[in-house]
């Protein structure tokens, strides 16, 4: 089978880690490329990397660089130890290439943009499990992406993993 670009939306929350664990266990196969898609919605325009990559997103960041605090700090991203452990496990045990791509702006639009421009064969996102009222008031990134994405999207609830 041909290798696939499998995206996982990450914000380092418990629900995005659940999505990452689910994708690494149930979806990834040898030769695939796991692309972490992180959208930084809270950023300062003064940050250097934002000026370079605001419109297109960062270049692909290999796992060894994504594990380096000094490199990720320049992108305004702070991956936690648990996320990095999951990534190293899937890279080493399953023979999967792991890279990250950082976007700046609105997560809803940027995740759909990533699907089309990378391109991704599929995207896995976590769900915070908002109530109907909160979802109506705040909106749901996962709902928006499911309804607007050009590729299949899998939504993983935190408590299902």
Query: What number does CATH give the domain 5-160?
Result: 3.40.50.620
d(Cα 50, Cα 44) in Å, to the nearest integer?
8
Return the bridge partners of 99, or none.
Answer: 35, 62
Kindly report, residue by residue over 117-128, the tens digit of the pLDDT: 999 999 999 987
Q: How far is CA 51 from CA 43, 47, 61, 112, in A?
A: 11, 7, 17, 21
Q: Structure pTM?
A: 0.88
Pairing of strands 33-40, 5-9: parallel
Kindly report, residue by residue over 67-83, the tens digit of the pLDDT: 999 999 888 899 999 99
Domain borders along the chain are: 5-160
d(Cα 67, Cα 52) in Å, to the nearest integer?
21
| Residues near 103 by beta carbon (within 8 Å), at least 6 away in sequence | 37, 38, 39, 40, 57, 58, 110, 113, 114
Q: Which stretches in the chain have pLDDT values below 70?
A: 1, 43-51, 129-139, 160-161
């Amino acid at each position: 089978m041909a290798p696939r670009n499998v995206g996982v939306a990450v914000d380092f929350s418990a629900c995005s880690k659940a999505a990452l664990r689910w994708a690494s266990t149930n979806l990834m196969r040898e030769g695939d490329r796991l692309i972490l898609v992180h959208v930084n919605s809270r950023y300062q325009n003064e940050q250097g990397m934002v000026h370079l990559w605001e419109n297109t997103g960062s270049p692909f960041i290999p796992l060894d660089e994504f594990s380096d605090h000094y490199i990720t700090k320049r992108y305004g991203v702070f991956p936690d130890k648990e996320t990095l452990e999951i990534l190293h496990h899937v890279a080493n045990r399953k023979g999967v290439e792991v890279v990250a791509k950082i976007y700046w702006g609105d997560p809803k639009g940027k995740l759909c943009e990533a699907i089309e421009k990378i391109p991704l064969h599929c995207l896995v996102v976590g769900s915070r499990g908002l109530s109907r009222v909160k979802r109506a008031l705040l909106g749901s990134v996962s709902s928006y992406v499911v309804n607007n994405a050009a590729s299949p999207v899998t939504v993983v609830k935190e408590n299902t993993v």
